[in-house]
A and B are shown apart, each in its own frame.
Chain A
């Protein structure tokens, strides 16, 4: 099954989860998502999602200079982001349970 369509629906939640665990810069978010198993996630999708979440006030950002290379723009979750993540997680869990139940053959006659 093509997971790219599924991914679009849950990318907000995935990005919020990654930065909830630790502040991260864009490249780091992409890498962590892929390490977690979301290998098909596109770099542009991640950056676009972060930009949208930042505009929506769910993320904050700050710049950290680096001696070894270019500076890094870190993204951090805030209270609004945590609240959004909590709501999304509930919706996802409920939805996943429903589909799982459906697949298990529990269909009301």
Chain B
């Protein structure tokens, strides 16, 4: 699909409308989105800087009106089945369980375990404190604290508490138990440090639309079955939407770079052709200092293990690390041709 406009606002509006049309056949959807892209480009040339939402309506409203006028069916949205609230079912199951003979036996036995729980909760509390202070479970502090903690916990258990205090105690027990059980496996697995939050985004966002388990994806390096590095590759998801990646904000050499999209046959920039081309941006580093001579390194593909596929003819030995990425200048343009 030819993309006649590449402004961020236009791309966002197009993407949102495209998403609303995602249930349509690909040819209809492609035609409608291409028409809209041309329309946005024409609007941009008017010099009117009002947002598209103001001029055309929200993407949802635009897509709805478009479907209606084009005689296309309304958007099919997933129907949520009416089901009784889950908590009611859980409560029924619990009552059934506790009223059975085996359930009654267990309920009779549980009070005998209460003193053991008083001891265990004291140990959990000490473990939680130790973990919180990153001193390890079996540390001097733990040994010093555990005995008075058990004594205090048992004494507390033997007292008749007011309802409010009892509720506070129950909440504290749950918090301490959950915290300890969540972090404890990490300690025993031999990790030197416990990472609670590494700052990586948990969900895709406009800035980082593609995530892997390792974090945000900022570029893609394709290879063919013979291990030959490919360039100018366009990737689309299961609904035909182009795969977009986030912008690389940090470089090992501290040099500032911007992406340089290749151009289609009609001269229109094609964003997100992989791997992306980068151009060094200015003479200052990412942190505002002057770039030293020789500081900025040429980018290269990451070294990756590649499988060897069965081939009828000999294939060239892949050597990914020897395939430098173009830092600037012309790059192979993908054959991007819009539908007629």
Interface residue ranges, A against B (CB under 8 Å): 11, 25-27, 30, 42-52, 55, 63, 65, 69-73
Q: Give the interface size class of chain B.
A: 20 to 34
Any A CB within 8 A of the CB of B266: yes
A70 touches B268 (CB 8 A): yes
Report chain A residues within 8 Å CB of B28.
51
**A51 and B57 in contact, given A11-B69, A71-B4 (Cβ under 8 angstroms):** no
The residue on B at minimum CB distance from A48 is B69
Subset of 9 A-B contacts with CB under 8 Å: A44-B62, A44-B69, A47-B66, A47-B70, A48-B71, A51-B32, A70-B2, A71-B38, A73-B38
- Residue from the list B5, B32, B69 in contact with A70, Cβ < 8 A: B5
- Identify the stretch in B39-47, B209-217, B234-242, B312-320 within 8 Å (CB) of chain A at 4 or more residues: B39-47
Closest to A31 in B: B42
* Complex alpha-carbon distance, A43 and B42, angstroms: 12
The interface residues of chain B, by DSSP majority, are classed as: helix
Asked if B31 CB lies within 8 Å of chain A CBs, one says: yes
Q: Which residues of B contact A (CB under 8 A)?
A: 2, 4-5, 28, 31-32, 34-39, 41-43, 45, 55-57, 61-63, 65-72, 266, 268, 338, 340
**Complex Cα distance A55/B35, Å?**
14
The interface centre, meaning the residue of B5, B32, B61, B69 with most chain A CB atoms within 10 A of its CB, is: B69
CB distance from A58 to the nearest CB of B (A): 13
Pairwise interchain contact B65-A48, C-beta atoms closer than 8 A: yes
11 additional contacts (CB under 8 A) given A26-B42, A48-B68, A51-B28: A25-B38, A27-B38, A42-B56, A42-B57, A44-B57, A48-B71, A48-B72, A49-B69, A70-B5, A71-B266, A73-B34
Q: A71-B2, A71-B4 are in contact. Are A44 and B266 (CB under 8 A)?
A: no
| B280 CB → nearest A CB, Å | 29
Report if A47-B69 is in contact (Cβ < 8 Å); known contacts: A63-B340, A69-B41: yes
Please measure, in the bound complex, the distance between the C-alpha atom of A102 and the C-alpha atom of B143, giving whole angstroms.
Answer: 99
> Chain A: interface secondary structure?
helix
Residues of A within 8 A of B39 (CB): 26-27, 30, 43, 47
Q: Which residues of A contact B2 (CB under 8 A)?
A: 70-71
Tell me if B66 and A44 are in contact (CB < 8 A): yes
A47 adjacent to B5 (CB under 8 Å): no
Contact across chains for A45 and B69 when beta carbons are under 8 A apart? yes
Q: Which B residues are in CB contact (< 8 Å) with A46?
A: 69
In the assembled complex, the Cα of A46 lies from the Cα of B62 at a distance in Å of 11
A-B contact count (CB 8 A): 86
User: Which interface residue of B4, B35, B340 has the most chain A CB atoms within 10 A?
Assistant: B35
Q: Which residue of A lies closest to B43 (CB)?
A: A27
Contacts of B42 in A (CB 8 A): 25-27, 69-70
Cross-chain contact A48 with B67 (CB below 8 angstroms): yes
Instruction: Tell me the complex Cα distance, A71–B340, Å.
Output: 12
Bound Cα distance from A11 to B65, whole angstroms = 13
Contact A44 to B268, CB < 8 A, known contacts A26-B39, A63-B340: no
The answer for the CA separation of A42 and B70 in the assembled complex, in Å, is 13
CA distance A27 to B4 in the complex (A): 14
Residues of A within 8 A of B68 (CB): 45, 48
> Given the complex of chains A and B, what is the CA–CA distance between A55 and B62 in angstroms?
20
A42 and B266 form a contact (CB under 8 A): no
Contacts of B37 in A (CB 8 A): 70
A47→B2 CA distance, assembly (Å)? 18
Residues from chain A with Cβ under 8 Å of B70 in the complex: 47-49, 51-52, 55
How far in angstroms is the closest Cβ of chain A from B51?
A: 14
**A45 to B340 Cα, complex, angstroms:** 22
User: In whole angstroms, how far apart are the Cα atoms of A104 and B31 in the complex?
Assistant: 46
In whole angstroms, what is the CA distance A55 to B70 when docked?
9
Which of A11, A30, A49, A69 is in CB contact (< 8 Å) with B45?
A: A69
